[in-house]
Structure 1
């Protein structure tokens, strides 16, 4: 199912509070963005136990139970995990990854809340969750009868929410500082091949590994861990960022003239990281129109043009990276700045 309208993690609890208490909800989203933890947190906020059933591990009898003879008649006895006397949150995780016959077993439960002769207690909530087919995750088509029994919400990763959460949940300071500078690296689309990709879950796993290894972790181990939890590009960027921390070598130092672009071949990943950081800084600082340029921004522009010349002397590729258009060929930097760069760089290069 494709998302027409999406919600952020901080918007979700309020929506669930008004909707999930009256109708079943299905939460769509990419792997690793926190769907399961958000549902458990919501259940805790209502004072409800959260009972999780994984669609990929279920057979129909796991839900409706097995038949037993009572007073010479057979009836189905739902599992003890489900048949509870007190209200609770029934979380159907990976529901759309379940086999079709398992999905059918949920029809009456989701619509009217009975399971055989048992009925969910008043005050219970039913929430499903799953990945989309476009996420290259295990997902089966959901029958229209099941789709029509639930309210569908599409969750997206939100860096501001995650950074706020991370600051209060012992996420490693290197991870926190890196994603503060590179919020676009929090999440990446799942690849079509079997390879790690960046998600809030992946960054959390890397944080746990860093806490376990300690801050004296060697560069090789850091590279292995980052490459095992993130995309290769993000892993390389994070590794270079840790180098800047250890050597007090960052973009601000380059801008101030306290340090120069790294020139050693062994520091090429650091040069690439600083170039990406320079690009992100330009995108953030430069106004769309020249008339809105303040004196401080004008000084920054002059320094940036000089640094671009210096960078091009070391690596034309990195210099091009700073000013390159996006994947669709659309310029990301203001046109007035690009015009100034093309006009002034030959003169600045000649002066050097």
Structure 2
């Protein structure tokens, strides 16, 4: 399903408080961005137990129950975990990955809040969740009858929300410090091949592994754990970041002129990390329109062009990485800065010579 609008994890409770208390909600989102934990937290905020049913592990009778003969008539008895007397949150996880006959079994529960003769207690909420077909995850098409019975909310990963949560939930300092500098590495699209990829869940996993390994973990151990949980490019950058942190290389110091780009062949991974971080800093701090640039930003842009020259003297490849287009062929950096860089670099090179 295509998302016209998306919400962040921080705003989701407010949205659910408006929607889920009156209508069943379906929460769309990529794998690993925290859909399940957010629903459980929302239920807890309402003082409700959260009963989770995993769509991929259900058969229709797991919902409808089995028939019993009562006074010569059959009556279906829903499972005990569903047929409760007190209000609760019914969480239908991976609903759109369930088999079609299981999805059909949910119809009356979602629309009429009942299964057979059992009706959900007043005050109960029903929330479903699932991945999108574009996420390379198991997702079956939803019948239009089911789609039309749900309020659809699309969740996106938000680095600021996750870092605020991480600070109070024991996430390893290395992970927090790295993602503070590279928030764009919190999430990556699921790959078409079978390999790890970066999500809030996988960063949480890496944090647990680093805590288990103990401090200080050696470089090879860090590399093994990072490549076992993250997108390969992010794992390599995380490993390089730790070398930066451990060897006092700092982009801020380079920007201020207190340090230089690392130039030794053994520092290539450090240089790659710093070049990527430099690019991310330019993307963040340079406005799309030069007319909106303050005097301080213009000074920063001039300094950035000088640093590009210094970087190119060490590695032309790394300098090209800073100004390269994204995967879709679109410029990452503002066009005015690229034009100025192309115009001014010869003059800066001559000045250095």
**TM class, shorter-length:** over 0.9
Determine if the alignment matches structure 1 residue 301 to structure 2 residue 295.
no
Of 254-263 and 98-107, deviating more is: 254-263
Determine if the alignment matches structure 1 residue 111 to structure 2 residue 111.
yes
What SS does the aligned partner of 1:26 have? strand
For 1:11-22, list aligned pairs within 5 A: 11-22=11-22
For 1:119-130, list aligned pairs within 5 A: 119-130=119-130
How far apart, CA to CA, are the structure 2 residues paired with 1:148 and 1:288? 41
- CA displacement at 1:249 relative to structure 2: 1.0
- CA displacement at 1:44 relative to structure 2: 0.3
Of 297-306 and 150-159, deviating more is: 297-306
Determine if the alignment matches structure 1 residue 213 to structure 2 residue 213.
yes
Of 64-73 and 127-136, deviating more is: 64-73
How far apart, CA to CA, are the structure 1 residues paired with 2:290 and 2:113? 62
Q: Any unmatched runs of 5+ in structure 1?
A: none
Determine if the alignment matches structure 1 residue 174 to structure 2 residue 174.
yes
Partner of 1:231: 231
What SS does the aligned partner of 2:322 have? helix
Runs in 1 of length 4+ with deviation above 6 angstroms? Answer: none
Partner of 1:191: 191
Give CA deviations for 1:145-200 in whole Å, capped at 9, x if unaligned.
11111111111111111111111211111111111111111111111111111111
How far apart, CA to CA, are the structure 2 residues paired with 1:295 and 1:20? 49
Q: 1:303 to 1:49 in 2, by over 3 A?
A: same
Give CA deviations for 1:110-154 in whole Å, capped at 9, x if unaligned.
111111221111111111000011111011111111111111111
How far apart, CA to CA, are the structure 2 residues paired with 1:334 and 1:45? 43
Q: Any unmatched runs of 5+ in structure 2?
A: none
What SS does the aligned partner of 1:106 have? helix
How far apart, CA to CA, are the structure 1 residues paired with 2:25 and 2:157? 19
Q: Give the length in aligned residue pairs.
A: 352
How far apart, CA to CA, are the structure 1 residues paired with 2:153 and 2:288? 35
Q: Over aligned residue pairs, what C-alpha RMSD do you find?
A: 1.6
- CA displacement at 1:298 relative to structure 2: 4.1
- CA displacement at 1:334 relative to structure 2: 3.0
Q: 1:271 to 1:150 in 2, by over 3 A?
A: same
Partner of 2:145: 145
For 1:311-326, list aligned pairs within 5 A: 311-326=311-326
How far apart, CA to CA, are the structure 2 residues paired with 1:148 and 1:287? 42
Determine if the alignment matches structure 1 residue 35 to structure 2 residue 73.
no
How far apart, CA to CA, are the structure 1 residues paired with 2:248 and 2:44? 43
How far apart, CA to CA, are the structure 1 residues paired with 2:295 and 2:143? 61
What SS does the aligned partner of 2:319 have? helix
Partner of 1:134: 134
How far apart, CA to CA, are the structure 2 residues paired with 1:123 and 1:286? 50
Determine if the alignment matches structure 1 residue 78 to structure 2 residue 78.
yes
How far apart, CA to CA, are the structure 2 residues paired with 1:238 and 1:225? 11
How far apart, CA to CA, are the structure 2 residues paired with 1:159 and 1:121? 37
How far apart, CA to CA, are the structure 1 residues paired with 2:73 and 2:291? 85
Q: 1:168 to 1:194 in 2, by over 3 A?
A: same
Partner of 1:50: 50
- CA displacement at 1:58 relative to structure 2: 0.3
- CA displacement at 1:293 relative to structure 2: 4.6
Give CA deviations for 1:74-103 in whole Å, capped at 9, x if unaligned.
221111111111110000000111111111
What SS does the aligned partner of 2:26 have? strand
Q: 1:113 to 1:244 in 2, by over 3 A?
A: same
How far apart, CA to CA, are the structure 2 residues paired with 1:328 and 1:105? 42
How far apart, CA to CA, are the structure 2 residues paired with 1:134 and 1:296? 42
What SS does the aligned partner of 2:229 have? coil
Give CA deviations for 1:213-261 in whole Å, capped at 9, x if unaligned.
1231111111111111111111111111111111111111222333221
How far apart, CA to CA, are the structure 1 residues paired with 2:289 and 2:20? 46
What SS does the aligned partner of 2:48 have? coil
How far apart, CA to CA, are the structure 2 residues paired with 1:111 and 1:348? 68
Partner of 1:261: 261
Give CA deviations for 1:276-311 in whole Å, capped at 9, x if unaligned.
111122222334444555444344334322221221
Partner of 1:157: 157
